[in-house]
Amino acid sequence: MEEFAQLTSPTLLLRPEIAKRNIQRMANKAKQAGLEFRPHFKTHQSHTVGGWFRDAGVTKITVSSIAMAEYFALDGWQDITIALPLNIREMDRINALARKIKLNVIVDNAQILTILEYQKMVQAPLHVWVEADCGDGRSGIPLKNKGAFIHVAQTLMKSPTMQFAGILTHAGHAYRRMSSTEAKALFTDISDNLGKLVEYFYRFEDFKGMKIPVSFGDTPLCSQLEAFPNIDELRPGNFVFYDFMQYAFGACTIDDIAMVMACPVISHQGGQQYIVHGGAVHFGKDFLLTNLKHKPVEEGKNFGWQVDFTESGWKPYRNSYLRGLSQEHGEAFNGSTPLLDKDLGQLAYFLPIHSCLTADLMMRYYLVENGELGEEIRMMKADPGYLDGFGNS
């Protein structure tokens, strides 16, 4: 057997020097642009990696669920935004946490405020961001519906328990292949419309002299751009690890990708296919097709891109990748020239397509530094308190 003899099953590996460099670079960028930096922690879901952000001066964070907010509050984080439209069925847990820390939530609808007020559901101070749809078409008030933003913000300003925190948006439509020119054009359009929305607020007496912060997030645009006019806060998340999808989008280099899955080779019949232990319950089912900026794959779906793990970093194979995943099987297509020579029992390494979902499935990762296997990092879902709610602990 070669390196990492102690690895027996599919194992997710993290190179901390890359993750720390990604963190520092984004923190510097926010600082130089004069912006608040509120990174999204949904990708790493770990107290340890959270500590690396703390070392970079981060004090405010973003999460995607009340469970994740509770988990990071337990580790001392005191200012957390749950970047999912408020789920009013979770108000007991939200109130409990809002009594302990500064808790920020988002709404995109006046109806929800009526329900909350009418049923007296808010029992602790809540900082409420109004979500804008800047073109993604998922959640948020469409930017052009300026009157709806005013109505929601004015309703919040009358509430005894809720405070209007600002405007928050996520450019989900930036998750695609973009040149830096295209990225800049997309952002400029969003930024102009956000600027106009804030100007519109100042037509109303209620908001005169008031700062209306604008929070913006997504790894592709935050990675590609340096200047962020009309924005006050950045909330990218995936950039801590990046992945093959972000590389294909043009948001990072291959050397910025911090994670790889090590998979034992378990079957081959000769020819261009071999089977690894590593399937849908390890990688998840996100894939990329071939119409991407970077084309390592000649046909069909790519569920993970094969690389060698060398001292100097990833050495990618041009046309070797996971072309199919069953529950625990991975079908690796070996189209490299010369053919890879993988024997049964050896490890094959694949860059994940989407590191957020792969890490979430694996529940843990191992640090690798200088070619040595180090500390095991257990994530939120591996914590014994997860299924019962950390708020109850």
- Residue 118 binds a copy of itself (CB under 8 A): no
Number of residues that bind a copy of itself (CB under 8 A): 65
- Residue 141 binds a copy of itself (CB under 8 A): yes
Question: How many CB atoms are closer than 10 A to CB 121?
Answer: 18
- Residue 393 binds a copy of itself (CB under 8 A): no
- Residue 7 binds a copy of itself (CB under 8 A): yes
- Residue 268 binds a copy of itself (CB under 8 A): yes
Rounded to an integer, what distance in angstroms lies between the CA atom of residue 64 and that of residue 356?
12
From 319, 328, 314, select the one nearest 272 (Cα to Cα): 319
Beta strands in the chain (DSSP E): 11-14, 36-37, 61-63, 79-85, 102-107, 126-133, 141-142, 162-170, 214-217, 233-234, 259-268, 273-277, 304-310, 313-325, 329-334, 347-352, 364-369, 372-378
- Residue 31 binds a copy of itself (CB under 8 A): no
Q: Which of 189, 203, 344, 393 is the binder for a copy of itself (CB under 8 A)? A: 344
User: Please, what's the b/e burial string for 69-80 (b: 16 or more CB within 10 A of its CB; e: otherwise)?
Assistant: bbbbbeeebeeb
Looking at the DSSP assignment, which residues form a beta bridge with residue 59? none
Rounded to an integer, what distance in angstroms lies between the CA atom of residue 261 and that of residue 101?
36
Q: Which of 109, 123, 159, 188 is the binder for a copy of itself (CB under 8 A)? A: 109
- Residue 169 binds a copy of itself (CB under 8 A): no
- Residue 159 binds a copy of itself (CB under 8 A): no
3-state secondary structure of 100: coil
Q: Which of residues 44-63 bind a copy of itself (CB under 8 A)?
A: none
Q: Which stretch binds a copy of itself (CB under 8 A): 206-214, 252-260, 274-282, 290-298?
A: 274-282
> Under a CB-based contact definition with an 8 Å cutoff, are residues 390 and 67 in contact?
yes
Looking at the Cβ atoms of 52 and 274, the one nearer to a copy of itself is 274
Rounded to an integer, what distance in angstroms lies between the CA atom of residue 39 and that of residue 63?
9
Q: At closest approach, how far in Å is the CB of 204 from a copy of itself?
A: 22
Q: Which of 177, 324, 336, 366 is the binder for a copy of itself (CB under 8 A)? A: 324
Looking at the Cβ atoms of 373 and 382, the one nearer to a copy of itself is 382
Q: Which of 74, 254, 363, 373 is the binder for a copy of itself (CB under 8 A)? A: 363
- Residue 385 binds a copy of itself (CB under 8 A): no
Q: Which of 295, 326, 371, 374 is the binder for a copy of itself (CB under 8 A)? A: 326
DSSP labels, 268-306: E-STTEEEEE--HHHH-S--B-S-SSS---SSS-BSEEE
Tokens standing for 231?
């924005």
Q: At closest approach, how far in Å is the CB of 161 from a copy of itself?
A: 18
Looking at the Cβ atoms of 26 and 263, the one nearer to a copy of itself is 263
Question: How many CB atoms are closer than 10 A to CB 378?
Answer: 15
Q: At closest approach, how far in Å is the CB of 376 from a copy of itself?
A: 8
User: Please, what's the b/e burial string for 293-313 (b: 16 or more CB within 10 A of its CB; e: otherwise)?
Assistant: eeebbeeebbbbbbbebeeee
- Residue 327 binds a copy of itself (CB under 8 A): yes
For the chain, the distance separating the N- and C-terminal CA atoms, rounded to the nearest angstrom, is: 44
Rounded to an integer, what distance in angstroms lies between the CA atom of residue 226 and that of residue 31?
11
Q: At closest approach, how far in Å is the CB of 281 from a copy of itself?
A: 5
- Residue 275 binds a copy of itself (CB under 8 A): yes
Q: Which residues of the shown chain bind a copy of itself in the complex (CB under 8 A)?
A: 1, 7-9, 42, 64-67, 84-90, 92-93, 108-109, 111-112, 115, 131, 133, 137-142, 172, 264, 266-269, 273, 275, 277, 280-281, 284-286, 324, 326-329, 331, 343-345, 356-357, 360-361, 363-364, 378, 381-382, 384, 387
